[in-house]
Amino acid sequence: MTRSNLKRTLTRIYALLLIVLGVSFVAKVVEHVPGAAGSGIEKFLRDTYEYLRDMSLLIATGGVAYITNVFQKRHSFIEALKEEWREIIATKSALFTYTQLERPTPQQYVEAFCSISETIDNMRSVYRNVGETDSLVGLYPFAPLHDMRRALQALDPRKTPELDTETRALVRDAILQSFYALRETFLEELDLEEPDQPLLIWGARRIKVSGATAVSQRAQERQRAGRDRAGPAEARIDTLLARLFEKENETAKPWRQPATRTASTQANGGPR
């Protein structure tokens, strides 16, 4: 179920709910309306109210079941879209790799072509063509995929054995341009939300410094003591791991600065 279909369905459900609540309210207060008391309209509305009250459990159960089914269909559709998007990304990578080859073989071309061809056809399991009828084929929903296919066909080694660098670069740019256009539109179908904790700056680095709380360090010491009591250690392995750990943590990196540690902490995989 697409996002637009979901909105239309929920709108109809909300409208029906408002109508039922409105009728119930009018039927409940009709006896207080001047001129309506004792009339046929009052009797009809009161009977309607009694019917809705008797059927309320069934109406609520059916409504919940229907809404649950609607959201299950939406969830299944979103999962299908995610799978299709992963396939599109894999296809883009395959085509990009192909454009890097100076002398691609016919087999490599066939593999790349089959990749984009399968992606194009698999889209039909998610969306139908736009404007499709019983007599008209309609328009393919995401035309950039066909642009990527046509660009790839310009590098068919069976037709053009010698592919110069400029042509490959042009085709590569055409494929990437088509992919970026497709991504901008396709991802809108997934109802993506902004992250709660985005990292928006370039050249980002870790802000936290090496270390851990005293509680966690005491827990580490207890685990080490328990390990030592469990049985004899393999001295060569322990020596190797301790040496590698110390070497790694004594080497300054932009994302990790050496910190003072106790010998026991260093030898047992202390905080990094």
Could you report the per-residue pLDDT of 153-200, keeping only the tens digit for each? 999 999 987 888 999 999 999 999 999 999 999 988 887 888 899 989
The predicted model scores a pTM of 0.68
Residues in the chain with pLDDT < 50? Answer: 262-267, 269-272
Q: What is the CATH number of domain 80-130+138-192?
A: 1.20.58
From 109, 197, 204, select the one nearest 153 (Cα to Cα): 109
149 Cβ contact list (under 8 Å, min separation 6)? 113, 116, 117, 120
Q: What is the pLDDT of residue 262?
A: 45
Q: What is the pLDDT of residue 266?
A: 45
CA distance 102 to 256: 41
From 169, 142, 148, 153, select the one nearest 91 (Cα to Cα): 148
Q: What is the pLDDT of residue 263?
A: 42
Which residue bears the tokens 């109809």? 12
Q: Between the CA atoms of 79, 80, 86 and 92, what dihedral angle is there, to the nearest 10 degrees?
A: -150
62 Cβ contact list (under 8 Å, min separation 6)? none
Q: What is the pLDDT of residue 1?
A: 67
Which tokens go with 61?
């159960």
Q: What is the pLDDT of residue 265?
A: 45
Which residue bears the tokens 């959201």? 71
Phi-psi region of 231 (alpha: psi -120 to 50; beta: other; left: phi over 0): left
Q: Which helix (H) or strand (E) holds 266?
A: helix 263-267
CB of 176 closer than 8 Å to CB of 165: no
* Intervals of CATH 1.20.58 along the chain: 80-130+138-192
Angle at 34 between CA 33 and CA 38, to 5 degrees: 85
CA distance 189 to 240: 52
Could you give phi then psi for residue 139, rounded to 5 degrees? Answer: -110, 140
Q: What is the pLDDT of residue 267?
A: 45
Which residue bears the tokens 């970026």? 180
Q: What is the pLDDT of residue 35?
A: 64
155-163: long-range contacts, CB 8 A cutoff, minimum separation 24: 155/98, 155/99, 155/104, 155/109, 156/109, 157/103, 157/104, 157/105, 157/106, 157/109, 158/106, 158/109, 163/102, 163/103, 163/104
